[in-house]
Amino acid sequence: MLRWIRQQLGFDPPHQSETRTVYVANRFPQHCHYIPQRFADNRIISSKYTVWNFVPKNLFEQFRRIANFYFLIIFLVQLMIDTPTSPITSGLPLFFVITVTAIKQGYEDWLRHKADNEVNGAPVFVVRSGSLVQTRSKNIRVGDIVRVAKDETFPADLVLLSSDRPDGTCHVTTASLDGETNLKTHYSVAETSVCQSVSRLEALQAVVECQQPEADLYRFVGRITVTQHGEEIVRALGPENLLLRGARLKNTKEIFGVAVYTGMESKMALNYKCKSQKRSAVEKSMNTFLIIYLAILLFEAVLSTILKYAWQAENKWDEPFYNQKTDQERNSSPILKFISDFLAFLVLYNFIIPISLYVTVEMQKFLGSFFIGWDLDLYHEESDQKAQVNTSDLNEELGQVEYVFTDKTGTLTENEMQFRECSINGTKYREVNGKLVPEGMTDDSPDSATPQMIGEELLFLKAVSLCHTVQISYDQPDCLGGGDPFSHANGFSANHMEYYASSPDEKALVEAAKRIGVAFTCSNGDIMEIKSFGKSEKYKLLHVLEFDADRRRMSVILQTPSGGKVLFTKGAESAILPFTTSGEIEKTRLHVDEFALKGLRTLVVACRHFSPEEYIDVDRRLNIARTALQQREEKLQEAFSYIEKDLQLLGATGVEDKLQDKVQETIEALRLAGIKVWVLTGDKHETAVSVSLSCGHFHRTMNILELLQQRSDNECAEKLRSLARRIKEDHVIQHGLVVDGASLSLALREHEKLFMEVCKNCSGVLCCRMAPLQKAKVVRLIKTSPEKPITLAIGDGANDVSMIQEAHVGIGIMGKEGRQAVRNSDYAIARFKFLAKLLLVHGHFYYIRIATLVQYFFYKNVCFITPQFLYQFFCLFSQQTLYDSVYLTLYNICFTSLPILVYSLFEQLVHPHVLQNKPGLYRDISKNSLLSFQTFLYWTLLGFCHAFVFFFGSYILMGEDTTLMGNGQILRANRQLMFGNWTFGTLVFTVMVITVTLKLALETHFWTWMNHFVTWGSIAFYFIFSLFYGGIIWPFLHTQDMYFVFVQLLSSGSAWFAIIIIVITCLFPDVVKKVFYRHLQPTNTQKSQSLSAPQTENLSCMESLCCYEHGQSGCSRLAHFLEQMTGQCHTSSRGNRSWSDTENYSNDRSILTLSPIEATHC
């Protein structure tokens, strides 16, 4: 226990060495000097709290909020000194807010505990004492041999010892880890692969030495030492030998593995990333307003205290005959009295700080986030995926985006690759009907390429069929084992197998080679079999030189059927061509550039033949590098560089990745909304520019500026200055900037300001050849610029995670590159086109709702507490409260809370179709305009004005009504009687509740039955509650000040008259202002509201970007034209649009109606 406490405090780290030694089956050395290492148990803990720490930890987190801490201080002050209000008035709302938040967080954590218990209690089989024992997952220890059956998940990180296959391999999927659904092959070392039974495993003597746990899923460095007949055999272990917790066993009956990392030390657990807390602009504004209101509160408290002592300077007011001081009060310290009075006034006015604001905002965000998931327009029917909300704290930030950073592959494109062209030995070919046809020829021409290829063409196709990591899945489960699955006429059948690949490019190339006639048909251990035009050939796989982001190529070393050794390699042209010494290098380089200009993804293929002596040297270098425990990566890179040189160029491939649906319209909509779009991609320059042009990111009329291949800081600075000059000279023309990764590194190093100046004057920016961290640096550069714009990053792959986490709002695309981007994002959508509605509609709604909620909360609390401040001028600053303590407590909790919550969930200033049809309306709410200081000042002053009307209106209209002379009569200087102070306070409170509720009703544009229910229901509830509260003598109340007060008030006709007059006086100027501004100075939003009524009902699908119904895609121009031609779409009245130059939104064109069209109903 003591050691655990020391570990938690960081005094006793669990791992002292850089490596760990794992004894298989926990057979420790028998000598007495061995001290066993201590490892974590196999429990997974994703929960935040335990039964013991929930209360203190949760309270600590909640009281870190400034409003909660402030009310706690006020509550403690009320307990310690004699204050005018009961501690319950502050304690009850505080208790309500803390309790609601604690219940919500406790329930979420209970769900995490429940999920943890299911995982930790799952049954597993472990080899112990010579037999297979069933136990729970949490009981697995490092060193245990674990058995996993087909379709089960691995309960810990295991080093594969053996499988039911003779070669000791197994297939796994890692979809839950990185989202890749392809089959991955893992291997066991030859010495352990024969241990396929419990008895042989029991006799196994082996020790695994490996690195300490780290989060990288694709890195594992270790070695296994197997003792056989007294001899120690050492084998290297790498990622291909490690089975990760969370992965699933496929196409293999069972495996045995030794646990090396358990519980929270497994790679899956180490990848549980605590996302940095993102705070929205609204939350920052809210905190600023809270500080301003705190200053107002302190000012009112200090002023009241000073005026009290100024008033009491006269003896007749200092100690009146009816309130004689005690000796203790006369002798007390003036400073202590001043502090005590100041604190009393602080308590009296403390409700100007709205404690329930936080809990209302939290509920609004949580409940409002469901609308995104429920929106059928954001549902993708083909993949059966709906939008996801991973964090609801940033809903309103969707309405403030100024920059969108998007990945290209899989985000703008489909990530569905189709082989189009290739270059072999300097000749371009294209695929036609399963044949390779040279450029300029047709399939039926006499000189067309025949299936019987020879020489370079055949070698190129063999390289494509063999240089990959593609796996084959068979329909017949046992076809890998015994019988020949390729016994049909052509030697293989497409029905028998399906290719799985981590890279869509690889899969497309292997499938293309198969269609042409060179098919990859079998992978059995280290044997790779291809059928070249029906002739079977078997190659032995000697080594795989894995792909990595630095080399940007991958290679395989094979033994040919004739016994020769050959290396096939493929990769980016910049990673292959510099290392080639033979072949048609210049022609191929030109062909690669041509492919890229067409928007094709390019790969270059090369080979190298080894002599027997060369291969012995290569094999020795690879084995030394792979068995190294220290600096293995560096040694492998050296070996790879030594091997991948002196290459013979075979050719290049061009694969097409087609654009997603409606990408061009979406980018245009974002541009019209005032949002700048940057494309950040790892593709080469020509491919990226071609795709940017085709998707509308760049226009053909744009002046494309280039910052490419800069070699030095001075060269880069000079180029940036020349680009800045060109932009100033051609200020009328739109500019687009293309920059590559190397030049970007130089620009960001010392010329950030100059680079930013060029970028901000460009309509679109394209960054190519980008590394993942460079993407994040670009986002951070814009995010931290002086204007502090709101940024959004969207991508679909693991390489986009860094920029998704860096941006203010991160959006993951549910694409084909896994789920890492989705897991690390704030929101997830299935297609890029859904981004338009997410921002233009949902973002717009969320922002106006929460902006009004925040302003209204401050307004109603100013209305609430200012009459209390004014009342002190009429009671000699005696700290007499104007309202009853029950009303003080329930004002924010019951009487005025529901209308604003419902408003903040359902309000729509403009119809959603109009918002999509007019992206320019997004500009009206940009830069946090609805929470500007000017708007904040308006709502605050409005609150003060209404409070003055409540107080003085009640005083003037009712001050001489002698029928209401109730309890607490006050004798005025002119000997006239004013009605009782509780009656007066209740009148002010009644007027206030009605006015602030109706004020929100005036602000509401979109009325639902729920709005009506809570608006009129809140007023009715106040009246019913007050009648019961004041009409019955409650035995548990200490005082009965309000007994019969409300009934007496309502029995007076003049009171009803006063209520009506005061409410009209407060709200009538608001109505006049709204009418005046709407007719004389209407905003773009108000102009568009006229479209929301009858015209929106007739909006056609053609007039809306995303006007889909029930998840179906909208109409397109082509679809509309075809429907008209076939008579399937009936034409309604003309819906021509005219745009006048005098309109404020003259550039705000409908996305699909840039010219007058005929509106049709789809």
Buried b (16+ CB within 10 A) or exposed e, 982-995: bbbbbbbbbbbbbb
Instruction: For tokens 């009712």, name the residue.
Output: 958
Tell me which H or E stretch contains 806. Answer: helix 801-806
**Could you tell me if 1124 and 1131 are in contact, meaning their C-beta atoms sit under 8 angstroms apart?**
yes
Phi then psi for 163, rounded to 5 degrees?
A: -140, 180
Are 683 and 599 in contact by the 8 Å Cβ rule? The answer is: no
**CA–CA distance, 296 with 309 (Å, rounded to integer):** 20
DSSP state of 276: P
Read off the tokens for 291: 């500080």
Cα gap 780→773, rounded to integer Å: 10
Q: Is 80 exposed, middle or buried (0-12, 13-18, 19+ CB in 10 A)?
A: exposed
Q: How many helices (H) and strands (E) does the chain have?
A: 41, 37
Tell me, yes or no, if 407 is annotated catalytic.
Answer: yes
Crossing angle of the two packed helices 87-120 and 356-368, in degrees rounded to 10: 40
Sign of CA dihedral 623, 627, 631, 632: positive
Smallest CA-to-CA distance from 634 within 221, 1042, 303 is with 221
- Please state the φ and ψ torsions of residue 221, each to the nearest 5 degrees: -120, 120
* Cα–Cα distance, 1049 to 1058 (Å, whole number): 11
Distance CA 100, CA 68 (A): 13
Q: What's the distance, CA 443 to chain centroid?
A: 49
Query: How many other C-beta atoms can be found within 10 angstroms of the C-beta atom of residue 544?
Result: 15
DSSP 447: T
Which of 178, 377, 407, 683 is an active site residue? 407
Element (H, E) at 651: strand 647-659
Q: Cα 39 to chain center, whole Å? A: 34
Distance CA 1113, CA 1101 (A): 10
Tokens linked to 258: 């030794």
Instruction: Return the ∠ at Cα 1002 (arms to 999 and 1004), rounded to 5°.
Output: 115
Start-to-end CA distance of the chain, whole Å, equals 71
Q: Classify residue 251 by its DSSP letter.
A: S
Answer for the pair 792, 405: CB distance below 8 angstroms, yes or no: yes
Beta carbons of 767 and 753 less than 8 angstroms apart: no
What is d(CA 303, CA 348) in angstroms, rounded to the nearest whole number? 13
Name residue 474's beta-bridge partners.
497
3 state SS of 495: coil
C-alpha distances out from residue 996 to 174, 892, 893, Å: 56, 12, 14
C-alpha–C-alpha distance, residues 565 and 332, integer Å = 101
Asked if 971 and 965 count as a contact pair (C-beta separation under 8 A), the reply is no
Q: How many CB atoms lie within 10 A of CB 1110?
A: 8
* Residues 211, 215, 217, 221, Cα dihedral to 10°: -10
* Partners of 531 in the β-ladder: 519, 536
Residues written for the chain: 1162
Residue keyed to tokens 């938690």: 8
- The span from the CA of 821 to the CA of 810, in Å, is 9
Residues labelled as active-site residues? 407
